Each structure stands twice: as C-alpha cells, then as structure tokens.
Structure 1
C-alpha cells in the first residue's frame, strides 16, 4: 500500500480520531481533520492532498455533497464519501458529484484500504484517459483541417474512431458501476455478519437479512459476468444453435423459481400457458436467456404491488410468448436504441443494470431465427412479443 496525503472531513470527533489512527497505521500522512466544509476548503488552499475522506452529513452551510462539488471544481482531488446510510435517497444525492468511492460505516481497516486503493486507481486512470482523449481530439482536429477537402473518407474514419471511443467509455462506466455496487454491499454485509455471528439467537433475523443481501449481490455480479462472457462468445462467432428435446414443465418451473428467488421487490409474476406440448425441441439455453432477461427486466422496472403477465403458447410450430409489465416504460425518443449494447434509458434512475440484457435477448432470437416486437408507453409499461420456431 503506497503512502498518501489524506484530508479527513468529519464532524464527529471520535469517528475522525478512529479514522486517523486506521489511516496512520497504514503509513498515510494526515494533513488535517476538518469538522466543516468551510474548514476543509481552507486546509486545501494551504496543502496538497492526494485524497479526501468526506462525511456526507456535515453541520453548517456546506454539507459533504456541496463541499465535494467545490473540491471537484477547484482541485480535482478524488473524494471518498463516508456515511452510515446506504438508502436509495442518499445514493441518489451523491451520484451527481461523481465520488471516487462510497464507504458505509462501520468499516474495517481492510475494507478501507481496498476502497482507497480503488479510488486512487480510478482517479489516475480517468486522468490518463482524459489526457489521451484530449491528445487524440487535438490530433483529429489537425488532421481534419489538413485533409478534409482532399479526402472525405478520412473524416468518416475519424467519426468511426470517435464512436469506438464513446463505446469504450460506456463499457468502463457500466461495468465499473455494475461491479462496484454489489461488491460494496457484499463487503458491508459480510462485516455485519461477522459481528452478529458472535452473538446468540436474538440476532438471527439480522443475520438472515444480511445473508440475503450477500446472495442478491452475488447473483447480480454473476449475471453481469454471464452477460460479458455471452458477448465474448458472440463476438468470436461461437454462438451456435444446439437443439435438443426439453421438458417444458421442468423448464418453466426452473425459470420461475430463479426469478422468484432473485426478486428484490413485491412484484407478482402471473404465468398462463396455452396448448404447450410436454416436450419441444429447441436450444433450451438460448430460450432460457430470452425469458430470464425479459422477465427480470419486467420485474426490476416495476413497483411493489404491480404484476407481470407472462403468457406462453404453441401454435403452428411456433412458441409464442408475451411479457407485459406495468412499470416505468421506455421513452419514445429512445426506443430505437433499445437493443443496443450498454444502452440504458434516461428514466431508469438509480435502478441497477448493465444495459446488456436486451442485447442478449436480440442475439439469442437471431440465432433461433425468431422475432421480437414491443410496445411501450413511458410511465405505463411495456409489452414484448417473442415468436420462436420449434419442433415437437
């Protein structure tokens, strides 16, 4: 672990002292402890800091969020938020300040060290990327001025390069966010489980609660990895149609069990099956990917008390299914991007996701030579209709 110059901004003297001791134990230099945003800014005018540990709830006119906004604008120093709260409202407040990391109290030294290392690494890589982008943009401008009139094909190539860079940036943003949130939850819950596990039965409910959080976070991380591996196969042209006989009853039961186990809200899945044969022949893995992603999205973007209708039937050699939800819907202006990789609509807010699910659905349907249609109204819900050719 390398030594860093760290400013602590914490209005609770005991918490500040404990944090100072933990950081000094790992050979970091503490520039000072500020109990207000105003004092923190004053210290930064006098000393250079490598990183700032910022309590969100500060007394005075400048809370942690406002202070961070000023630090971002004037000093461009990575900030790690400290908070005893991990609720959606708090996360929604801090997301606009682009913090380098977010630590939930109480924390242990190992977790703290890991978060600081990740924050410094993220900051350095972002600055390196910004420098490279600036250099690239300057070169592009110079080349465009010199060659635009003589060679329009060069302009097209530069535009393609810009699109590739934007795609890379979106990959970094979505994947890093997808990893950071589940891992933070796993670390925090594991820490609490260690504490509760030392006690007797009165804490069993809490243990179960945090164990559930770990399970859900691991599932989210596993889904993300599965999605990335899926497209690795697709891009390498390894996606093949492998039909085999499957038992529809067992297939649907496994699908519903998985969806119900992974639900984090109170949304009912109402499944209705039509005249479906006991067995069908198709690629069950691709079919599972289609239904699991569509139904998971329908659940995730619905609210407590709403329901998702899942109708599936067999007609004229085709498996026909509709998935209808009453959730947030898709803005009309963005519907033509729905199946693009890493696309996430502007109205998803803080709902987690990688933007890969519907891209996977589209790719699987293409391999199965099926079709997908959808209708959506923002604020009222979305309906998908999938038709897959199968054989008995």
Structure 2
C-alpha cells in the first residue's frame, strides 16, 4: 500500500494512540493528532495532509461533522469518519458532508487499511471526474463563444447578401423597364415598314423580309426581358397570387395568338378543349406564363411543319391541361434538371432559347398551388400535364 500523510482527529487519547500505531505500521506518516475541531484546522493550516481520520463526537464548539464541512470547503481533503455508533440518526448527520468512508469502532487493521485505500481511490476518481467536467465546461464555453461569433458573421454575411440581391433586383428591373420603351418603338417601326412594303416598291420583298426579322427579333428580346423581370420579382419576393374573374375563352385566344405569331418553323397548334366554363377565378398573369411558355417551347422544339396538341379540360374545380409535341424530346439523364433556371438540354442544337421558360412555369405553378408532370423520349417528343386549381 502507498504511504500517506494522515491527520488524526480524536478526543480519546488512547483511541488516538492505537490508531496512530496501526497506521504507522503500514508506513503512513501521522502529521498530527488533534482532540478538537479547532486544533485540527490549525494543523491543516500548517501541514499538508492526504486524508483525515475524523471522530464524529469531539469536545469544543466544532464537532466532527462541522469540522468536516469546513475541511471540504477549504481544503478538499477526503475525510474518513470514526464512530462507536452506527444508528440511523448518526448516519443521517454524516451523509450531508459526503464523507469518503465511515469506520465503526472498534476496528481491525485490515478493515482500516481497506477503508483508507477506498477513500483515497474515491477521492482521486471524483477529482479526475471534476477535472474532466471542468475541461468539458470550458470547451463548451469556448465553443459556444465561437458559435456566437460565427453566427454573428453569418448574420452579417446574410444581411450583405440580402442587400446585394435587393440591389441586383432593382438594377435588373430598372434596366429591363428601360429596354421596354425602345423595343416597343422598334416593333412599331418594323410593323410600319411591313405596311409600306405592301405598296408597290422595287424592294418590296426585301423590305418585308427584313421587317419580319426585326419584328421577330424584338419579340424574342421582349420575351427575354419579360422573363428577367419575372425572376426579378420572384427573387425580391414580390410575386403574389392575385385572383380575379376572367373570361377563359378570351384568355386562351390571347395565348394562342401570341404563340402563333412567333412560330418560325411552320409548326401548327391543334386544340382540343373539353367542357370549359365561361369564366374562372384565378391569376391571369400567372396562368398566361404557364400556358404561353409550355406552348412556345413545344412549337420551338418541334420539327419543321410538326404538330403541337393543346388539350384543356375542367375537372373538379381544376384546369387540367396537356401540351404534347413530336419534337426532339429530352434526354433521360437531363430530365431532373429540366426546371432549373437557364438549363438547356444538350440536344437543342441551334434552336435559340434562354433556358428560363420551364423555370417560370414551375415558379408560377408553385404560386398557383398547381402541379406539373411530364413524359419525354428523345426523338419522339414530350408531353407536359398541369393541374391548376381554378374556381
């Protein structure tokens, strides 16, 4: 057994002497014998002790329990109680001081040595545990502080990003609006040129041809600006659902007229409308974006002279529409990206486009609380189906 420095606190001199001899036989060093709590504290003030053997009943103002409380608070040294009594009242008194062990007098040497070893082992383990706990608390404190600082930096970064996005949205909206007016003027001039070309003129055919090119180019650029403006509003969280009563027949005619005006590959659009109501309540601008983009894409990616089928029905308070073509189709590996902004499949070839149309469709359907599905096969065409609540 290892050697320890021990303080004996015992007011019975005979018991103290017997305990001293027993401990010294096991190579322990007795730093002193105190017959009162006050004297025990004085000895500890001047000497280091590994353990205290404490009699519970002491003469003076401080008994063993009060003395132990002071030792626990001031020195943090393990205490082994010595007592001739093992009654419940005595045991209840000592429990509150968290003693390292409790020995009943008279004791034998073997039992005493075992108690002392256990007391030292218990004390060391408790201190190791406390040290680990303190280290853990410190790590948690440091980590918490680091997370707090990181959160502050993240908040600053997010605020900065928000400001940049707002600035970007304002720039996009202002620039796009700025383009709208001159484009309208160019389109009007192109249409006037076409009117003049109808009269007898040596360059009649050339004027008509180039005026049509100008008109188509302006329409394409105008559509692009409309898409940019759309996403400018979306990114600025300014897209709202604004339902109003609308005449469905007039709406569909407007969509079809617009799409047909932009056909450049002689594709045709065949319609198949079911039992549609005369009026519905929905957001006409969002609906327009859905059907105009789906039909324009179907026409654009159809073969020259191909046919696009536009079906629309009204079922259980929902508009159910299908747009089918026999065009180039979408590669299966690229279909998961179909609604991503600016995504264009690799097989589009020289067909012009911004890659925004289907992204706009999906965004509008999210606001309308509608759904979209599609099936597509390369070389055989694509069919989109939408279901949109409309009362």
Q: Which residue of 1 aligns with 2:283?
A: 283
Q: Which residue of 1 aligns with 2:205?
A: 205
Separation in 2 of the partners of 1:200 and 1:322? 45
Separation in 2 of the partners of 1:260 and 1:204? 24
Matches within 5 A, 1:1-392: 201-391=201-391
Tell me by how many angstroms 1:248 deviates: 0.7
Tell me by how many angstroms 1:200 deviates: 6.2
Tell me by how many angstroms 1:312 deviates: 0.2
Calculate the aligned-residue CA RMSD, in Å: 3.4
Q: Deviations over 1:344-366 (max 9, x none)?
A: 10001111111111000000000
Separation in 2 of the partners of 1:208 and 1:298? 27
Separation in 2 of the partners of 1:328 and 1:202? 41
Separation in 1 of the partners of 2:202 and 2:303? 32
Q: Which residue of 2 aligns with 1:55?
A: none
Separation in 2 of the partners of 1:200 and 1:266? 27
Q: Deviations over 1:211-253 (max 9, x none)?
A: 0000000000001111011001001110000000000110011
TM-score, normalisation: structure 1 = 0.50
Separation in 2 of the partners of 1:262 and 1:347? 22
Tell me by how many angstroms 1:305 deviates: 1.8
Q: Deviations over 1:247-276 (max 9, x none)?
A: 011001111111111111110100111010
Separation in 2 of the partners of 1:205 and 1:220? 23
Separation in 2 of the partners of 1:200 and 1:285? 42
Q: Which residue of 2 aligns with 1:91?
A: none
Rate the CA distance shift 1:200–1:274 in 2: closer, same or farther, 3 A.
closer
Q: Deviations over 1:71-129 (max 9, x none)?
A: xxxxxxxxxxxxxxxxxxxxxxxxxxxxxxxxxxxxxxxxxxxxxxxxxxxxxxxxxxx
Consecutive unaligned residues of structure 2, counting only runs of 5 or more, are: 1-149, 155-160, 162-167, 169-178
Separation in 1 of the partners of 2:249 and 2:242? 20
Separation in 2 of the partners of 1:342 and 1:261? 24
Tell me by how many angstroms 1:303 deviates: 1.3
Tell me by how many angstroms 1:205 deviates: 1.6
Tell me by how many angstroms 1:379 deviates: 1.0
Aligned residues: 214
Consecutive unaligned residues of structure 1, counting only runs of 5 or more, are: 1-152, 158-163, 169-178
Q: Deviations over 1:299-355 (max 9, x none)?
A: 000111210000000010000000000000001000000000010100011111111
